Amino acid sequence: MKSLFATAALAAALAHAPVPAQEAEGPSPAADQNVPVHPYTLREDLKAFATWPMEWRGTDWLKFTGVLAAVNVAYRQDDEVREHYGNDGEPDYHEVEDALPAAMTFGGMWFAAKVAGNQDARREVDAMRRALVVEVISVQVMKLAFRRDRPAPGVEKDGWFGHEDLAFPSGHTAAAFAIGTVLAESGDDKRRALRRTLGYGIGVLTACQRVNHDAHWFSDTVAGAAIGIAAANVVMRRRREAEPFGHLGIAPMDDGMMLTYTVPLR
């Protein structure tokens, strides 16, 4: 059952995410030129995310349809998954415990950026922060719109609209996948497999724990994963578009100086 859960949650979420271009290893041109990592405001990030569907073409709508199908499949399995994981005692959603994997990842990257002065880590922290803001606002809007009951003994999975709980989608899962996607798809390709294992693993672990702790239905976490990955990809795409294409510089040599022009490979 755990294998089915993890595979379905991750596959459904990834269907919505375009593959981001890779970044060159070493300090970024933006950092060298003292150019802000991302000159856009968070308001514009949110606007870009909200209007993103207007840019979609045929394949993008197919991916979106695939995500909807995955959420629907998960919804049909909600009762079975809940029966496997569900607790019959007093609800304990473990809010802090389930947030720790994503929080520790963000904190570790922040430490590397601030204390070690790692410019690449600074860029990733900025992208994680922006992706978090985008997904949090998007998730809260959806929660208020759908108002789904959280799983509990005697509660049906069809408890939508007008109820007090805000189960759909899972905010913890969306946050974990937003942070994890930035970790997974940033940096160079030398550690790509490790980054993706850690990044997406954080998201899958969080989704499993939210269901295990009776905080969410299976379909809540699949939808949350899709939102988190989508938010991260939009933010990273906008960051890449904001960066200068190349960096003009001068390198000293024994018999003079050499004019250099560095272009990041993407």
Domain with 146, as residue range(s), is: 2-262
pLDDT over 70, % of the chain: 74
Q: Can you give the pLDDT at residue 68?
A: 94
* C-alpha to C-alpha distances, 90 to 11, 154, 202, nearest whole angstrom: 32, 13, 27
- Minimum mean pLDDT range among 145-159, 218-232, 233-247: 233-247
The secondary structure of 184-246, three-state, reads: HHCCCHHHHHHHHHHHHHHHHHHHHHHHHCCCCCHHHHHHHHHHHHHHHHHHHHHHHHHCCCC
Q: Can you give the pLDDT at residue 251?
A: 58
Q: Can you give the pLDDT at residue 249?
A: 52
Best-predicted range by mean pLDDT (91-100, 156-165, 198-207, 235-244): 198-207
pLDDT at 35 over 60: no
pLDDT at 30 over 80: no
Q: Quick one: tokens of 173?
A: 């899962």
Q: Can you give the pLDDT at residue 20?
A: 39
pLDDT tens-digit map of 156-170: 899 899 777 899 999
Best-predicted range by mean pLDDT (54-63, 104-113, 168-177): 168-177
Q: Can you give the pLDDT at residue 244?
A: 53
As a whole number of angstroms, the distance between CA 44 and CA 186 comes to 22
Q: How many domains does the chain have?
A: 1
Q: Quick one: tokens of 122?
A: 């600074």
pLDDT tens-digit map of 87-141: 776 777 889 999 999 999 999 889 888 887 778 888 899 899 999 999 999 999 9
Q: How confident is the model at residue 76 (pLDDT cuts 50, 70, 90)?
A: very high
